[in-house]
């Protein structure tokens, strides 16, 4: 009986691992500093992953640069070529930050997230890799109820707030995490340590020696 129970337990574990593996896509990011492999999570941020993979399929990222590098924060790229000409993009992808947060994805070291402007619904192709834990970039969960009886944010407490006002407040959306580096963090460390200054239209945080994304290719489909 014990052997049968152990066998069943092992079989269930293998089945769960296999199911989990089917929920993951994997890409290789070849940079001028080396190679990075990242897992993407389509069941946790489906629209975001589909959007990113379509740009990969279209070879949008090939020949772009990491144009914003902050060693204590993140490295950002995927939008500009070596002459700082911005690549054309498709319309923005729907923000999925709250969904990915609920699924367990946070802006922690090594995770990939979508870059955007102050408009939460403006993410297109640019992405960043967190090089430290950036909890302040995570979406803010909205408590149940309408109105929300009690809501705390940045040290202040708000009572009886209309739920729609909180759901639509731009400062509460955060940034959508959709993947994680699984190998090549040493390359990410090289990128984050690059000397930076002004470059192209940017007054700061641009690597003085361009760091290229030579290509991003799909290694595994979910």
Question: Domains of the chain, with CATH numbers?
Answer: 20-139+174-220 (2.40.100.10)
Task: Out of 8-17, 57-66, 148-157, 183-192, pick the least confident.
Answer: 8-17
> Please, are residues 76 and 115 in contact by the beta-carbon 8 Å criterion?
yes
pLDDT at position 16 over 70: no
Neighbours of 97 (CB within 10 A): 27
Cα dihedral angle (88, 90, 94, 96), rounded to 10 degrees? Answer: -60
Is the pLDDT at 22 greater than 70? The verdict is: no
- What DSSP string runs through 57-107? HTT-STTEEEEEEETTTEEEEEEEETT-PBPP--SPPPP-HHHHHHTT--S
In whole angstroms, what is the distance from residue 101 CA to residue 83 CA? 36
What pLDDT does 1 receive?
Answer: 45
Answer yes or no: are the C-beta atoms of 142 and 148 closer than 8 Å: yes
Confidence of residue 221 (pLDDT cuts 50, 70, 90): confident
Reported as a pLDDT band with limits 50, 70 and 90, residue 4 is low
- Calculate what percentage of the chain has a pLDDT beyond 70: 90
This prediction has a pTM of 0.89
């Amino acid at each position: 009986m014990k052997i049968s129970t152990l066998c069943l337990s092992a079989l269930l574990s293998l089945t769960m691992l296999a199911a989990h593996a089917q929920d993951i896509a994997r890409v290789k990011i070849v940079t001028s500093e080396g190679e990075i492999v990242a897992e993407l999570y389509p069941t946790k941020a489906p629209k975001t992953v589909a959007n990113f993979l379509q740009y990969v399929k279209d070879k949008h990222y090939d020949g772009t640069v990491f144009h914003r590098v902050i060693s204590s924060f993140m490295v950002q790229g995927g939008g500009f070529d070596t002459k700082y000409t911005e690549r054309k993009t498709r319309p923005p992808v729907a923000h999925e930050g709250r969904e990915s947060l609920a699924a367990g994805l946070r802006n922690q070291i090594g995770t990939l997230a979508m870059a955007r402007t102050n408009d939460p619904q403006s993410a297109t192709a640019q992405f960043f890799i967190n090089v430290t834990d950036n909890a302040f970039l995570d979406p803010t969960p909205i408590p149940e109820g309408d109105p929300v009886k009690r809501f705390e944010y940045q040290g202040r407490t708000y009572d009886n707030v209309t739920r729609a006002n909180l759901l639509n407040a731009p400062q509460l959306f955060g940034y959508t995490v959709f993947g994680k580096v699984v190998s090549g963090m040493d390359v990410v460390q090289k990128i984050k340590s690059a000397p930076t200054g002004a470059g192209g239209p940017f007054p700061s945080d641009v690597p003085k020696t361009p760091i290229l994304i030579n290509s991003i290719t799909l290694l595994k489909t979910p």
